[in-house]
Structure 1
Amino acid sequence: MRTLERGLGVLWALAGLREASLTQLARAAGLSPSTASRLLETLRQQGFADWDEVSGLYRVGLRAYQVGMAFDAAQALTGAAGAEMRALVAALGESANLAVLRPHGASGLEAAYVHQVEGPQLVRMFTRVGAGAPLHASGVGKVLLAPRDPAEVRAALEAATLVAFTPHTLTTPDAVLAALDRVREQGYALDDQERELGVRCVAVPVRGADGGVAAALSVSAPTSRLTPADVPRFLAAAQGAAARIGARLGWAG
């Protein structure tokens, strides 16, 4: 932990100086030159710092810029989604969530909730922002998986443990891949008590300016309030909200 703190301190010092020598960076970060040199070499190997051999100066690397761009993209996404999600919740009376893909474990992925608007009901479905959801057992997960190459998805599923959260969870690669085929055909995903008994969820893609799936928007409710007969109404409302969020992302771009 101490090494991580020092490394981030060096990176922050480098961001403030724009470009600097080892001595300048060590002084700005409050470290010895030898410690700063070791940390800078790690940052350089990982792409967070660049070193000019001719001038001997360090600069912020491309990967640090990419992290900043990812933050900007996340801010743009939640900014575009907020008003539309509030309107969606007002129309349906149920909680809405927005999720994106993020790395999980050594080589896997999961859906991560980045924004949420809770419904007004006394008994409501909600999750903590920042929490993850398994791709095979959530509506948002299936929406986010659907555009990816089926061969890559199969390989990832076969390497993973598909946990059975309920008797309805899809626990084989073939079952998940068949569900993803339906998502691509129908344009939405249904979590029918696959993560939690008594909970149903409708999820739809949010498309960015390039037409790709930037996020997944879902509405969740107890099965007593989101019956199979209610799905078309929930789906139409969610798709309308997702289209407007996508349009806002296009304007932001």
Structure 2
Amino acid sequence: MALDHRRIGPVYAVQYALRVLESVDAHRHGVTAEQLAREIGVPLGYLTQVLAMLRRERYLGFLPGGGYVIGESTVLLGAAARDVALAEKLKAILTGLRDEVGAAVYFSRYDDGEVRIIDFADGPDAPKVNEWVDFRSAAHASAVGKCLLAQLDHKGRMEHLSRHRPARFTSRTEVNDRVLLTKLERQPASVPTLDLQEYAVGTVCAAIPVTIGKRAACLALSMPSARAHRLRPAVDTLNERAAPVLLSMSI
């Protein structure tokens, strides 16, 4: 079955990438890009971009005589030590993203009814958010929390807000349940969720969903409000680079 290469975004890029890995894995002695394009049903020009990302992240290798083979990252993530390999891979990806966007970067999930920061990458020039209130109790105010809640159904959002009553952290914090739920319901998946000094004065944040399957997850970044003019381009870059994170979570 051919994939529709006209659909864009990190989730679709991962769907193509997973299909490429399946096809390459079926060719133990290597396979050319031209043959993969025929098997998967996408133009060679588009496939070349996916292959470049897979080689960069070491999911694919390339034989000296020509042809793609499964790379070391795919082998590691399929091994018994998957959890350790996955954590190392995620940290490396987040660190690279931090350096590229010039901001602290986070990977978060909604696990067992709670907002959880799985890992982050910060630095002297990319300070992380000061968690002055537990993020689990601040989903209504943080970009991460709102992005995760937006991926739940109405019942899930209601249940969460019943356990974590919205509290006012700054003058910008929205605490009205009805307004919050309406905003979450109308949040487009293609538009980043923002926190413009709603959780903490002096910090702006943005988050994008990176969900495959039923588990809500997101990538986010934060920066001092003095750098708010850099937020939009930084989010655009984050969205463009989200595929490796999704891919590592999907194998």
Q: 2:97 aligns with which of 80, 88, 92?
A: 88
TM-score scaled to structure 2, two decimals?
Answer: 0.58
Q: Return the alpha-carbon distance in structure 1 between the equivalents of residues 207 and 225 of structure 2.
A: 15
Q: Does 1:240 align with 2:240?
A: yes
Give the Cα separation in 1 of the matches to 2:83 and 2:206.
22
Residues 110 and 141 of structure 1 are in contact (CA less than 8 Å); yes or no, is this contact kept in structure 2? no
Gaps of 5+ in 2: 1-80
- Given the alignment of the two structures, is residue 162 of structure 1 paired with residue 166 of structure 2, yes or no? yes
- SS of corresponding position for 1:184: coil
CA distances 1:12-42 after superposition (whole Å, capped 9, x unpaired): xxxxxxxxxxxxxxxxxxxxxxxxxxxxxxx
C-alpha change, 1:156 and 1:88, in structure 2 (3 Å) is: closer
1:124 aligns with one of 127, 142, 145: 127
Aligned to 2:12: none
Question: Within 5 A, what are the aligned runs for 1:69-218?
Answer: 78-103=87-112, 109-121=113-125, 124-126=127-129, 132-133=135-136, 134-158=138-162, 160-208=164-212, 210=213, 212-218=214-220
Please state whether the residue corresponding to 1:207 is helix, strand or coil.
coil
Runs of at least 4 residues of structure 1 off by over 4 A?
72-77
Match of 1:249 in 2: 249
User: Counterpart in 2 of 1:231?
Assistant: 231
> How many residues of Structure 1 are paired with residues of Structure 2 in the alignment?
168
Distance (Å, rounded) in 1 between the aligned partners of 2:90 and 2:226: 27
**How far apart are 1:246 and its partner, in Å?**
0.5
Letter in 1 for 2:223: A
Whether the 8 Å contact between 2:203 and 2:223 is mirrored in structure 1 is yes
Identity over aligned residues, as a percent?
25
Distance 1:163 1:74, change over 3 A: farther
Task: Name the CA shift for 1:186/1:234 in 2 (closer, same or farther; >3 Å).
Answer: same
**Alignment TM-score, normalising by the size of structure 1:** 0.58
**Residue type of the alignment partner of 1:141:** G
- Equivalent residues of 2:107, 2:119 under 8 A apart: yes
| Structure 1 residue 202, shift from structure 2 partner | 0.8
CA RMSD of aligned residues (A): 2.6
- Contact 1:191 1:200 survives alignment (8 Å): yes
Q: Which amino acid aligns with 2:224?
A: P
CA contact (8 A) 2:101 2:238 kept: no
Deviations 1:63-101 (A, max 9, x none): xxxxxxxxx886565344222211111112211112222
The separation in 2 between residues aligned to 1:192 and 1:161, in whole angstroms, is 20
Counterparts of 2:83 and 2:205, CA distance in 1: 23
What secondary structure, in the 3-state scheme, does the structure 2 residue paired with 1:226 have? helix
One-letter identity of the residue aligned with 1:78: A
